[in-house]
Amino acid sequence: MHPSHPSVRYAGVALAAAGALTIVVNAIVTPTLPRGVPFADVAASTPFLIRQSLAALAAILLMFGCVGLHLRQMDSVGRFGAIAFVLAFSGTALLLGVEWTQIFEVRDMALREPEALNRLDAGGLSRADIGAMIALAALVVGWLVFAISMLKARVLPRRAVWLVVAGLFATPFLSAVMPPLVAAALGNAILGSGWIWLGFDLMTAQPG
């Protein structure tokens, strides 16, 4: 698709916004969540509502941005690029489902039946936990394959793509040497910066 097509540019705005929200959610909002209290108290709090709402918005914007990236390079990647796009889009959609559930089901349960939610949280690995892990794994695998397709296509800035790849793995690696909150903030700052860079490239790309 023509690089300056409005659809591509609007997708770039969405992708850059998703990257910025990813940084804000993990570096600014997450540290305000209540600490040392039962999970129901956390889920019923205003910071939890703000965090999950912004995270859901970031996932929606990321889905639009994902489409823009595919449109930008689709003439250069062939079938592999199409498969990579589907994987990344699907993983992002699953993440949106998790965030949506946290907002409208988990928080509602925390407000109505906090003791039941605390018992569920204390009962070990639940089906909801498994579903969230599947969604996260699908997101990481999908965007990793999508990043490989972008590197192969050589249409988008390679350094931005490598930032995304680094961001996908940064949080678990950094968690081994620093507090989880700091690791999540730094890891997602790397990931969000990659998306912002790619978004600006979509917004400003010229023909040729």
Question: What is the rounded average pLDDT for all residues in the chain?
Answer: 93
pLDDT of the residue at 208: 46
pLDDT, one tens digit per residue, over 98-110 is 999 999 999 999 9
Tens of pLDDT, residue by residue over 161-195, are 999 999 999 999 999 999 999 999 999 999 999 99
Query: 68 is written with which tokens?
Result: 């823009």
How many helices and strands, by DSSP H and E, does the chain display?
8, 0
| Residue 111 CA, distance from chain mean position | 27
The single residue listed with the structure tokens 């690696």 is 173
Task: Give all strands (DSSP E) within the chain, no chain letters.
Answer: none
Q: Which of 163, 143, 7 is nearest to 71 (CA)?
A: 7
**Reported confidence tier of residue 203, pLDDT bands at 50, 70, 90:** very high
Residue 4 banded pLDDT, cuts 50, 70, 90:
low
- Residues 55 and 172: their CA atoms lie apart, in Å, by 19
The larger pLDDT score, comparing residue 5 to residue 15, is at 15
Q: Between 123 and 8, name the one with better pLDDT.
A: 8
pLDDT of residue 2: 53
Report, as an integer, the average pLDDT of 138-158. 96
Report whether 132 contacts 85 (CB < 8 A): no
Cβ(3)–Cβ(207) below 8 Å: yes
Asked if 187 contacts 171 with a C-beta cutoff of 8 angstroms, the reply is yes
Residue 207: both structure tokens together: 């023909």
